[in-house]
Amino acid sequence: MKTLKKYGKVWWIMSRNALSGAIYSKLSFLIFLLGKVVRFNFFVLFLFYLVKGTGSLAGYDINQTIFIFLTFNVIDIVGQFLFREVYRFKPLILGGDFDLILVRPTSSLFRGLMGGADFIDLFTIPILFIVLYFVGMNFHPQIGDVMLYILLLVNGLMITAAFHIFILGLYVRFLELDYVLWLYRDLLNLGKLPVGVYKQPLRDILVYLIPVATMITVPARAMMGFVSFWGVIVSILIGIVGILVSMRFWKYSLKYYTSASS
């Protein structure tokens, strides 16, 4: 319990500092917010008119397509909110500042992963959830479906966490594999659309390699009432395995780093 409290405090202080910095650049804050809103709205409008005009997209109707897009945003934004610090990790490693972190009595993994929360998302996330609620209600989901959705969303976030941990491990181990992060983001971006849209072999990549399907399409389908029992089990398994593998990789990378000279 004590560790939890301690980490909570550290996270709060770091985020508070980030917030102070962000407020001072109040203009940055607003402009960024505007940019995100613009992007979001454009795509929703586009999807709306597209599916309206064509009737369906890979078998999904308007509501379903938009719901999948919204689910993508949840995973994308919440993931970025929690793990923003990863984006700042590269200069930390290259500058040698990571050594300073290793010396401190806090988990270096925690420090590299979290603590850079972007407070713009404090605005966008609640709004997102509200919209999600309204669109989701169109499916008249049963309470079981909703619970399943939430469970699979959390699972999706676990997979996101696993990825970020893995990427941190890559930084520590190889020092220069920066852009894997951007690659991950771009692949995740493909999850804006229902995975059924993509043809092989891309679809397989999105289902098995970078499990975008598991993170986004599957939870959405749960809400719509379409997901199978085994689908859920497999998804959760992927999540758990993902975390275990990534943490193992992190430990390995850390060991490699600390035993190598600068």
Partner 1 sequence: MERAVIVERLTKEFEVRERRPGLGGALASIFSSKTKKVKALKGVSFSLDEGEMIGFIGPNGAGKTTTLKILSGVLYPTQGFVQVAGYTPWERRHDYLRQISLVMGQKNQLWWDLPASETFELNKAIYEIPEKVYKRSLDELVEVLKVEKYLHTPVRRLSLGQRMRLELIAALLHKPKVIFLDEPTIGLDVVAQQKVRDFIRQYNKKNRATIILTSHNMDDVADLAKRVVVIDKGGIVFDGALSDLVNRFAKKKIIKICMEGSVDYKKLERIGTIEEAKMPLVTLSVPRGAAKMAAAELLQSFPIEDLTIEEEPLESVIRQVFGGKG
Partner 2 sequence: MRNKYFSVCRISFIQELAYRSKFVVERLQSVLQIFLIFFLWDSVFSDPSREVFGYDRAKILTYVFGLLIVKAIVASTKASDVSGIISSGELTNYLLKPVGFVKYWFFRDISARGIHTAFAMVEVVILFVILRPPFFLQTNLVSLAGFLVLIVMAVIIFFLMLTLVSFIPFWLVEQTWPPIFLFLSVSEVLSGAVFPLDVFPYAIQKVLYLLPFPYLIFMPIQVYLGKVVGMELGRSLLTAGLWMVGLMIAVNWVWQRGLIHYRAEGR
Residue 117 CB: number of other CB atoms within 10 A?
22
Q: Which is nearer to partner 1, 24 or 174 (CB)?
A: 24
Among 179, 208, 252, 256, binds partner 2 (CB under 8 A): 179
Among 1, 4, 5, 27, binds partner 2 (CB under 8 A): 27
* Sign of the dihedral defined by the CA atoms of residues 135, 137, 140, 146, in that order: positive
Q: Is 197 in the site for partner 2 (CB under 8 A)?
A: yes
Q: Does the footprint of partner 2 cover residue 182 (CB under 8 A)?
A: yes
The answer to whether residue 215 forms part of the interface with partner 2 (CB under 8 A) is: no
Residue closer to partner 1, measured from CB, 29 or 43:
29
User: Rule CB under 8 A: which of 2-41 touch partner 1?
Assistant: 16, 19-20, 23-24, 26
Q: Is the peptide bond before 91 cis (omega within 30 degrees of 0)?
A: no
| Nearer CB in complex with partner 2: 152/190 | 190
Q: In 10 A of CB 8, how many CB atoms?
A: 10
CA pair distance 16, 119, nearest whole angstrom: 9
CA dist., res. 202 & res. 71, Å (int):
20
CB-based burial of residue 44 (10 Å sphere; 0-12 exposed, 13-18 middle, 19+ buried)?
A: middle
Question: What is the closest distance, in whole angstroms, from the C-beta atom of residue 2 to partner 2 in the complex?
Answer: 38
Of 43-51, 85-93, 155-163, 232-240, which part binds partner 2 (CB under 8 A)?
43-51
Element (H, E) at 198: none
Look-up of token digits 């397989």: 204
Distance set, CA 239 to CA 7, 143, 254 (Å): 23, 23, 22
By the criterion CB under 8 A, which residues form the site for partner 1?
A: 16, 19-20, 23-24, 26
By the criterion CB under 8 A, which residues form the site for partner 2?
A: 24-25, 27-28, 31-32, 34-36, 38-39, 42-43, 46, 49-50, 53-54, 57-58, 176-180, 182-183, 186-187, 189-190, 192-193, 196-199, 202
